Amino acid sequence: MNKILKRILFTIFLGIIIFSQDTCYSISLSSRSAILMERDSGRILYSSNSNQKLPMASTTKIMTALIAIEKGNLNDLVTIEPQSIGIEGSSIYLYEGEKITLKDLIYGLMLRSGNDAAIAIARHISGDTDSFIKLMNDRAKEIGATNTNFTNPHGLHHENHYTTAYDLSLISREALKNEIFREIVSTKLWTSDRDKNEYFYNKNKTLWQYDGGDGVKIGYTTKAGRCLVSSATRNRMQLISVVLDDRNWFNDCYRMFDYGFEHYRPVVILSKNQFIRNIYIDNEQILPIMVKEEVIVPLTQQEKKEITIDVKIHENISCPVYKGDRVGYIKIYMENKFLDKVYIVAGKTVEKKNFIERMIEKIYSISASI
């Protein structure tokens, strides 16, 4: 084999090896774009071209379901209109005049990937599809998915319908915070209250194939390729993996899961209501301060040794201070890189003392010193 051919083969080999944040470990993937995120902290454990704008097919329905759950009443009875019938692609075979609960529509949307269910949900929530799409785009911006644009609620191809693996992980993370959403996407079989086509089998093989698999959505169109958002929970840690345009979609998600669960463990850095110290306010009154929220971050064994925290207390704090008021913050660093921030709050209420109370305290203080 001549030197030129060897060099070409070596370059191709490097091109298919994608290195994670842990440089001692590599993952061979087929996707154009991929990411692995831990749900609670939002920490990215692995990524490859995760900010590339790409079509996402039916993983679109993660946002559709989230808005339906947030804005709708699951017990609402939806009357199916002609506009929701005969939509191209996957279907739950709605028929005109059918009455079906919003809950069954969402199950049909997420388990069977019903494009007709997506339109029926959009029209029920917003009155028309365009208004619902605006809700989708507004919610994406709220979540921080700024490189995402929806033009429909189902994911059928459109040139201006796109997201990124990173944005899709943010949207999925937000959805997985919702208990109803988690229950729906982790269901393998749902029996709807219909007179026909009542069984919805989940197309997401993660639930069967991967230990701890519990969500979320598959998608496919000719233009988008195979797209998958998958989730799994082990060791008190839920991971979200996203691949876009990936012929080996499920196995690639599983490879990322294996990497995440093998290398990372959730570490409690700060506990909720953890006492920090007492501070003096108005030069005389003691105020205990504490951590507002628990901070749990997935870390490797090596990273545990590299965590530092920086406590910042607001200057010139004066009475009255009420329990729960923010009085500062703690920044968490790993290898001097910012990782997270949590607020420090007052542990009790401290009222401003009046003139008589201050005089009595001075008298006691003088008496005690004699």
For residue range 66-113, what is the model confidence (pLDDT) as tens digits? Answer: 999 999 999 999 999 999 999 999 999 999 999 999 999 999 999 999
Residue 274 lies in a domain: yes
pLDDT in tens, 226-270: 999 999 999 999 999 999 999 999 999 999 999 999 999 999 999
**What per-residue confidence (pLDDT) applies to 357?**
54
Q: Which of 48, 58, 172, 230 is catalytic?
A: 58
Strands 225-234 and 213-221 come out as antiparallel
Statement to judge: residues 172 and 315 lie in one domain = no
The residue out of 228, 263, 298 marking a domain boundary is 263
ω into residue 216 within 30 of 0, thus cis?
yes
The mean pLDDT of 347-369, rounded to a whole number, is 67
Statement to judge: residues 313 and 212 lie in one domain = no
The boundaries of the domain holding residue 207 are: 17-263
| Res. 8 pLDDT band, cuts 50 70 90 | very low
47 near 32, Cβ under 8 Å? no
Statement to judge: residues 239 and 293 lie in one domain = no
Active site residue 323: no
Statement to judge: residues 128 and 275 lie in one domain = no
Q: Does the pLDDT at position 25 exceed 80?
A: no
Residue 232 lies in a domain: yes
Number of residues assigned to the chain = 370
Beta carbons within 10 angstroms of residue 19's beta carbon: 13
CATH number for the domain spanning 110: value is 3.40.710.10
Q: Does the pLDDT at position 366 exceed 80?
A: no
| One-letter amino acid for residue 50 of the chain | S
Q: Which of 20, 33, 41, 113 is catalytic?
A: 113
Statement to judge: residues 182 and 327 lie in one domain = no
User: Of the given ranges (18-22, 89-93, 156-160, 256-260), which has the lowest mean pLDDT?
Assistant: 18-22
Statement to judge: residues 43 and 132 lie in one domain = yes
From CA 154, how far away is CA 221, in angstroms rounded? Answer: 11
Q: Give the SS3 label for residue 207.
A: helix
242 near 16, Cβ under 8 Å? no
Residue 131 lies in a domain: yes
Residue 352 lies in a domain: no
Q: Whole-model pTM?
A: 0.85
Beta carbons within 10 angstroms of residue 83's beta carbon: 15
Q: Which residues of 256-273 are buried (b: 16+ CB within 10 A; e: fewer)?
A: bbebbbebbbbbebbeee
CATH number for the domain spanning 281: value is 2.60.410.10
pLDDT in tens, 29-65: 999 999 999 999 999 999 999 999 999 999 999 999 9
Beta carbons within 10 angstroms of residue 90's beta carbon: 22
Instruction: Using CB atoms within 10 Å of the CB of residue 137, give its burial: 0 to 12 exposed, 13 to 18 middle, 19+ buried.
Output: middle
From CA 95, how far away is CA 92, in angstroms rounded? Answer: 9
Smallest CA-to-CA distance from 35 within 315, 341, 242 is with: 242
Statement to judge: residues 182 and 79 lie in one domain = yes
Active site residue 113: yes
The residue out of 193, 228, 263 marking a domain boundary is 263
The mean pLDDT of 156-168, rounded to a whole number, is 98
Statement to judge: residues 254 and 142 lie in one domain = yes
Statement to judge: residues 320 and 177 lie in one domain = no
* Tokens linked to 288: 């205990």
Statement to judge: residues 22 and 133 lie in one domain = yes
Residue 356 lies in a domain: no
Q: Does the pLDDT at position 358 exceed 80?
A: no
Residue 38 lies in a domain: yes
Domains contained in the chain, number: 2
Instruction: Using CB atoms within 10 Å of the CB of residue 324, give its burial: 0 to 12 exposed, 13 to 18 middle, 19+ buried.
Output: middle
Active site residue 58: yes
Residue 64 lies in a domain: yes
Helix/strand/coil percent split, the chain, to 5: 35, 30, 35
Residue 333 lies in a domain: yes
Q: Does the pLDDT at position 15 exceed 90?
A: no
Q: Which of 41, 61, 126, 217 is catalytic?
A: 61
Please state, in angstroms and as integers, the Cα–Cα distance from residue 11 to each residue in 16, 17, 51, following that order. 9, 10, 24
The residue out of 232, 263, 294 marking a domain boundary is 263
Residue 17 bridge partners (DSSP): 28
Statement to judge: residues 156 and 292 lie in one domain = no
Statement to judge: residues 207 and 72 lie in one domain = yes
